[in-house]
Amino acid sequence: MTNIADTDINAQVIRPTYDRASLKSRIVHLGFGAFHRAHQALFTNEMLEKTGSDWGICEINLFGGEDLITRLREQDHLYTVAEKGANATIVKMIGSVTKSLHPSLDGQQAVLDKMAEEQVAIVSMTITEKGYCADPATGRLDKNNELIKSDLANPRMPNSAIGYIVEALRIRRELNRQPFTVMSCDNVQENGHVARAAVLDFANLVDQELAGWIEENVTFPCTMVDRIVPAATTETLAEIAQLVGVEDPCGIACEPFRQWVIEDNFVNGRPEWDIAGAEFVSDVVPFEEMKLRMLNGSHSFLAYLGYLGGYTHISDTMTNESYRKAAFDMMMKAQAPTLTMPEGTNLESYAKLLIERFTNPSLKHQTWQIAMDGSQKIPQRMGGSLRHHLEHGTNYKWLAMGIAGWMTYISGVDEKAQPIDVRDPMAEQFKVIYQQHGINTSAVKAILGLEAVFGTDLINNEGLVNEITKAYQLIITKGARAAVAAL
């Protein structure tokens, strides 16, 4: 079967013109998922086009995705990205990836050896919130996490991303090699700080001297990443095959918009990603909060209430004027007032751009996909804003409705009494609550009592409990569409 490494692909596909043979795997990336393929690897590809430097990427999947890595190898580590605007699609072949590894295919030691190689200057990650094995309530390493317990018992043969990073740094220190920068590219608030805390906590439990060396020598820049990249479906892959002229099982489709803000704090050099449109800054936090609250927060709002309202895709929710207005008000009235942005930032323009992006019918971004792992997302996307409004006595009804939507969604039953496939690390705890309470307003207080999601302060706020209960009652009696319209 022909694949994209062959020459007979459609002329419209933009191919790399730089010398791929001269690339070195100076970046090791953990998590060869959809987002990374359409974001960091694409930025790197475009930087290479403009600089001719040697910053190649070695891709590593630690869990699952063996088939993807195998297919990637079969096509000489090339794959395509289709940037789908409302009116036109641009197809790019990405050449920045030079190598790939998987512990199931190559063994744990091969992964560690690669991470310890002298030329590796950055270990970057898109491993989702779960991958940091952090306790959401404290932000520190969760020592009771099964992966962490197993890694602490045998740190030389790790399984978690955190365990791999610490062991690779131990090897580098032993070999007297320069450390690498650890760069998180996940949608996690202050992701660099979360990565740093998890790595240092783990290292301290393994070897305090090593932990001291990491603390002194390794940097953990924060980043803010933004691009809507739906998970690849059979339909997407068929469309990419048509656009490219041959099948590409590693291909991905995304929106044209992209943003990458990076704290300029690298210990061992970095690529000139700014040439490809990234922005290096001294403080990422304001941009990150803007994105987490305005984009991700409204995305979650639309995911839960959209799924319950019978909408399959985010763009479908935008065909309903009530959802469209509620999402805009969520951004401008619930989230924007909680932000402190650098001078000159126009939040209203940003909100309008987000609504435009959500409306793009070319992107089949599933409400169910965005709804996953809500227990990990709600604290960052809505928790901080909620506390801001409670402190200032301002209106937070959109946040209360979003949280009530999530609480209804995790009951595991939709409005037509059909089961919902709830994917969440805390799914078992939700199940227990709903077995005790049924789909009843009494479940609200039980869910608010989940410390890992809501901390210990919110359950004691009577006004908040009442507001969420009222929203929850409206959803279960009148349905999500009527509840959103009532906003």
- 457-469 pLDDT, tens digit per residue, is 999 999 999 999 9
CATH number at residue 105: 3.40.50.720
Contacts of 190-193 with C-beta under 8 Å, sequence gap 24+, read 190/222, 190/284, 190/285, 190/288, 191/222, 191/223, 191/288, 192/220, 192/221, 192/222, 192/223, 192/263, 192/265, 192/284, 193/139, 193/220, 193/222
Distances (CA, A) of 112 to 159, 171, 249, 267: 11, 8, 27, 20
Residue 14 located in a structural domain: no
pLDDT of residue 181: 98
Q: Do 156 and 276 fall into the same domain?
A: yes
pLDDT of residue 108: 97
Residue 111 located in a structural domain: yes
Domain end: 281, 312, 328, which one? 281
Residue 403 located in a structural domain: yes
Antiparallel, parallel or unpaired: β 259-263 and 223-226: antiparallel
Q: Do 297 and 196 fall into the same domain?
A: no
Taking a C-beta distance cutoff of 8 angstroms, is the pair 85, 239 a contact? Answer: no
Residue 180, token pair as written in the block: 């690498």
Residue with tokens 């096509």, as numbered in its chain: 75
Put residue 259 in one of left, alpha, beta given phi > 0 → left and psi -120 to 50 → alpha.
beta
Q: Do 170 and 227 fall into the same domain?
A: yes
Q: Do 322 and 387 fall into the same domain?
A: yes
Domain tally, the chain: 2
Q: Do 114 and 231 fall into the same domain?
A: yes
Q: Could you please report the per-residue DSSP string of 427-465?
A: HHHHHHHHHHH-SSTHHHHHHHT-HHHHTTTGGG-HHHH
Q: Do 261 and 248 fall into the same domain?
A: yes
Q: Do 236 and 116 fall into the same domain?
A: yes
Tens-place pLDDT, residues 335-392: 999 999 988 889 999 999 999 999 998 888 899 999 999 999 999 899 999 999 999 9
Taking a C-beta distance cutoff of 8 angstroms, is the pair 315, 360 a contact? Answer: yes
Q: Do 404 and 462 fall into the same domain?
A: yes
Q: Do 272 and 342 fall into the same domain?
A: no
Structural domain harbouring 314: 285-486
Distance CA 209, CA 173 (A): 11
Domain end: 281, 299, 320, which one? 281
Residue 131 identity (one-letter amino acid): G
pLDDT of residue 187: 83
Domain end: 281, 305, 336, which one? 281
Taking a C-beta distance cutoff of 8 angstroms, is the pair 65, 102 a contact? Answer: yes
Residue 5 located in a structural domain: no
Residue 482 located in a structural domain: yes
Residue 24 located in a structural domain: yes
pLDDT of residue 2: 59
Taking a C-beta distance cutoff of 8 angstroms, is the pair 421, 368 a contact? Answer: yes
CATH number at residue 368: 1.10.1040.10
Residue 1 located in a structural domain: no
Task: Name the burial class of residue 433, with classes exposed (0-12), middle (13-18) and buried (19+) by CB atoms within 10 angstroms of its CB.
Answer: buried
Q: Do 190 and 231 fall into the same domain?
A: yes
Distance CA 372, CA 365 (A): 13
Q: Do 277 and 293 fall into the same domain?
A: no
* DSSP 8-state assignment for residue 477: H
Residue 22 identity (one-letter amino acid): S
Q: Do 231 and 305 fall into the same domain?
A: no
Q: What is the pLDDT along the chain (487 residues), one digit of tens a residue?
A: 457 766 689 999 999 999 999 999 999 999 999 999 999 999 999 999 999 999 999 999 999 999 999 999 999 999 999 999 888 999 999 999 999 999 999 999 999 999 999 999 999 999 998 999 998 778 899 999 999 999 999 999 999 999 999 999 999 999 999 999 999 999 888 999 999 999 999 999 999 999 999 999 999 999 999 998 988 999 999 999 999 999 999 999 999 999 999 999 999 999 999 999 999 999 998 998 999 999 999 999 999 999 999 999 999 999 999 999 999 999 999 999 999 998 888 999 999 999 999 999 888 889 999 999 999 999 989 999 999 999 999 999 999 999 999 999 999 999 999 999 999 999 999 999 999 999 999 999 999 999 999 999 999 999 999 999 999 999 999 999 999 999 9
pTM of the model: 0.82
Beta strands in 259-368 (DSSP E): 259-263, 279-281
